[in-house]
C-alpha cells in the first residue's frame, strides 16, 4: 500500500491557501509516487483546494461530517456533500471532536457508516489520554474505541485508522518508537480479529501527534505504521512534503 501523509489544517487557512499545492509543485516538481498526500482543510476551502490541486497528485478531504445525508441540521455538512465537492476522505473522531464537541464512539461509527455510503474513506481517530497511558490502560482504551467507532456494517475495505495519543497532539511530545510500534501492532491485531488477516494487512494505520520532518523518518519506518496524520507541521507545503520525502 502507498504511504498516506495526511494534513489536518484544523480551523486554519483562507482562500489564498488553495494555491499552495500548485505553487509547491511548480517550485519542486512531482512528489514521491509511493506516497499519497492528503490535505483536509476547513470545509469551506474544500472546493477551492480540489480545484487548486488538480493534476497535483494531492487528494483533498474533510475534517468531519454529519451522520445524516441531508435534512434540517443547521450548520452541518453531509458526507454526500463532501463527495459532491470532490473530497475523498473524511477525518472522524479526532480527539478535538471527541473532547470539545462531545463525540462518542457511537456517533463516530454512525458518521463512518455515512462516509462509506458516500464512497469516501473514513479516517477513524483513536488514542489514549496521558492519564490512561500512565495507568497502563492505553491498549484497552484504544481497543474499545476501535471496536465501537468502526461501524458494524464495515467490511474493512476503504478504511483508515489514525492512532493519535491525545497527549502528543500539538505538544511536541511523541511516544517512544517502541510504544508506537506496540500500539500499531495491537491495532493491526484487533483489525485482523475482526476482518481477517488479509484485509487487516491492507488497512492503512496512521500515526499522529507532533510528527515533523525531523522525526518522520524513524516513525514512518516502523512496522505497521503506514503513514501520518499531521497538524501543525502540515500547514506549510514545505514541511508537509519534507515529511512525505521521509517515507521511503
Ligand atoms: P500535531 O496534530 O501534528 O500538531 O500534533 C496532530 C493532529 O491533531 O492530528
Burial of 138: CB neighbours in 10 Å, binned 0-12, 13-18, 19+: buried
Q: Which residue has the cell 497538524?
A: 231
Residue 48 in contact with residue 94, Cβ under 8 Å?
A: no
Domain 3-246 sits in CATH 3.40.640.10: no
Q: Can you tell me the distance from the alpha carbon of 177 to that of 183, in angstroms, rounded to the nearest whole number?
A: 10
Q: Which residues pair with 40 in a beta bridge?
A: 8
pLDDT of residue 28: 76
Q: Can you tell me the distance from the alpha carbon of 195 to that of 208, in angstroms, rounded to the nearest whole number?
A: 23
Closest residue by Cα to atom 6, ligand 1, is 231
Ligand 1 residue neighbourhood (C-beta within 6 Å): 8, 164, 169-170, 208-211, 229-233
Q: Can you tell me the distance from the alpha carbon of 146 to that of 224, in angstroms, rounded to the nearest whole number?
A: 16
pLDDT of residue 117: 98
pLDDT of residue 77: 98
Kindly give the residue spans of alpha helices, DSSP state H, lying in 2-55.
20-28, 46-52
pLDDT of residue 55: 80
Greatest Cα pair distance in the chain: 49
Burial of 157: CB neighbours in 10 Å, binned 0-12, 13-18, 19+: exposed
Ligand 1 atom nearest to CA at 170: 5
pLDDT of residue 188: 98
pLDDT of residue 23: 85
Which set of grid coordinates corresponds to residue 74? 443547521
Q: Which residues pair with 93 in a beta bridge?
A: none
| CA 210 / ligand 1 centre spacing (Å) | 6
Q: What is the pLDDT along the chain (248 residues), one digit of tens a residue?
A: 999 999 999 999 999 999 998 888 887 777 778 899 999 999 999 999 999 998 888 999 999 999 999 999 999 999 999 999 999 999 999 999 999 999 999 999 999 999 999 999 999 999 999 999 999 999 999 999 999 999 999 999 999 999 999 999 999 999 999 999 999 999 999 999 999 999 999 999 999 999 999 999 999 999 999 999 999 999 999 999 999 999 97
pLDDT of residue 30: 72
Residue 48 in contact with residue 18, Cβ under 8 Å?
A: yes
Judged by DSSP in three states, 190 sits in: helix
Q: Which residue pairs, CB below 8 angstroms and at least 24 apart, start in 22-28?
A: 22/52, 22/53, 22/56, 23/237, 24/237, 24/238, 24/241, 25/56, 28/241
Ligand 1 atom nearest to CA at 169: 5
| CA 196 / ligand 1 centre spacing (Å) | 30
Extents of the domains making up the chain: 3-246
User: What amino acid positions are annotated as catalytic residues?
Assistant: 94, 164
pLDDT of residue 54: 86
Which set of grid coordinates corresponds to residue 217? 523518518
pLDDT of residue 25: 80
Please state the φ and ψ torsions of residue 71, each to the nearest 5 degrees.
Answer: 130, -170
Amino acid at each position: 500500500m502507498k504511504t498516506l501523509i495526511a494534513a489536518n489544517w484544523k480551523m486554519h487557512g483562507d482562500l489564498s491557501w488553495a494555491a499552495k499545492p500548485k505553487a509547491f509543485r511548480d517550485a519542486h516538481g512531482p512528489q514521491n509516487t509511493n506516497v499519497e498526500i492528503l490535505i483536509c482543510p476547513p470545509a469551506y476551502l474544500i472546493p477551492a483546494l480540489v480545484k487548486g490541486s488538480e493534476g497535483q497528485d494531492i487528494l483533498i478531504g474533510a475534517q468531519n461530517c454529519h451522520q445524516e445525508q441531508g435534512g434540517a441540521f443547521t450548520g452541518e455538512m453531509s458526507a454526500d456533500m463532501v463527495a459532491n465537492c470532490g473530497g475523498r476522505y473524511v477525518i472522524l473522531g479526532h480527539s478535538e471532536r471527541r473532547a470539545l464537541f462531545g463525540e462518542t464512539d457511537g456517533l463516530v461509527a454512525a458518521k463512518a457508516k455515512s462516509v462509506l455510503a458516500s464512497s469516501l474513506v473514513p479516517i477513524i481517530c483513536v488514542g489514549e489520554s496521558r492519564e490512561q497511558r500512565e495507568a497502563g490502560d492505553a491498549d484497552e482504551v484504544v481497543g474499545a474505541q476501535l471496536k465501537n467507532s468502526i461501524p458494524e456494517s464495515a467490511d474493512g475495505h476503504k478504511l483508515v485508522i489514525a492512532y493519535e495519543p491525545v497527549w502528543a497532539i500539538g505538544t511536541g511530545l511523541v511516544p517512544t518508537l517502541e510504544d508506537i510500534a506496540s500500539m500499531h501492532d495491537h491495532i493491526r491485531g484487533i483489525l485482523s480479529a475482526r476482518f481477517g488477516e488479509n484485509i487487516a494487512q491492507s488497512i492503512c494505520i496512521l500515526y499522529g501527534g507532533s510528527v515533523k520532518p525531523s522525526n518522520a523518518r524513524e516513525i514512518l519506518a516502523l512496522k505497521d505504521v503506514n503513514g501520518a496524520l499531521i497538524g501543525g507541521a502540515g500547514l506549510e507545503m514545505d514541511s508537509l512534503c519534507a515529511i512525505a520525502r521521509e517515507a521511503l
